[in-house]
Amino acid sequence: MEPARLPPDWPFRGLGQRVALAPHRWWVVTMGEGPDLLLLHGTGASGHSFRRLAPLLAQHYRVIIPDLPGQGASQSRAMGRMGLDGMAEDLWTLMDHLGVTPKAVIGHSAGAAIGLRMAELRPIQAVIGLNAALGGFDGLAALLFPAIARTLAAAPFLARAAARLSGTPASVARLLAGTGSPLDAEGRGQYLRLVQDPDHISGALAMMAGWRLEGLLQRLPQTRTRVWLIASEGDRAVPPRVSDQAAARIPGAEVTHLAKLGHLAHEEATDGLASLILPWLSTLP
């Protein structure tokens, strides 16, 4: 969507800028001063999901929060660039344009996988994964899900229909409850705004259609970046065992389990998990 269509009270609305770098038109929020931290949201969300965490990080760091291509207020029709490799490469192009050198990437869900792929392409000191989506589709789903997503993403009228069907308070409440993170009224309202936008739906579907993790997962034992995976015990979307299994294959990786919280733990916790994350970041050289 166009940034002008964001509600006046949308998180960080006044701190964002439009950055046109073919084939995308990015929406990027920057706040704070200090070493650079890159925050990457998951599929179907936007940078707003760091509404509680980012302001506290920005007291110590320069925080950069892009909406991923085709989602939130970032616009793109380049479906071929919305997979793992394309987004990681294009994010580095964006970082170069902005003069940003991330000291660490904090990625939620699929954003964690993108952060790990970026760290394969260029050195990054650390990647923190919040309920990291580091498990591929299994069996027949590996064939069906991307194909279904490609079909839906290629048909704008289907995205509009999906936005009408899912863009109700009841539908969003059910969706969030299914993640184990019901969220407060403000959080529910923000996701309602996103799913009512057909362009956002198309972008999320295009990301799903191009999502291929097999190569990254095979290379996990070669990871040289320091990795910390935070997994919520109440996550109904990405069970904690996914982080446990990934960490077992990453040299030196750390895992922390959070009791009670769900997939959107950083949106549930009143401080966005800053009290957990800031001390860990301070250990980086």
- For the chain, domains (ranges, CATH) are 3-138+213-281 (3.40.50.1820)
* pTM for this predicted structure: 0.92
Q: What is the pLDDT of residue 213?
A: 94
pLDDT > 80? residue 126: yes
Q: What is the pLDDT of residue 144?
A: 42
pLDDT > 70? residue 149: no
Q: Where are the alpha helices (DSSP H) in the chain?
A: 53-57, 84-98, 110-121, 139-153, 156-166, 169-177, 185-195, 198-209, 214-219, 240-247, 265-268, 274-281
Q: What is the pLDDT of residues 182-230, one digit of tens each?
A: 899 999 999 999 988 888 888 888 888 888 999 999 999 999 999 999 9
Q: What is the pLDDT of residues 71-111, one digit of tens each?
A: 999 999 888 899 999 999 999 999 999 999 999 999 999 99
Contact residues for 254 (Cβ-Cβ < 8 A; gap 6+): 227, 228, 229, 247
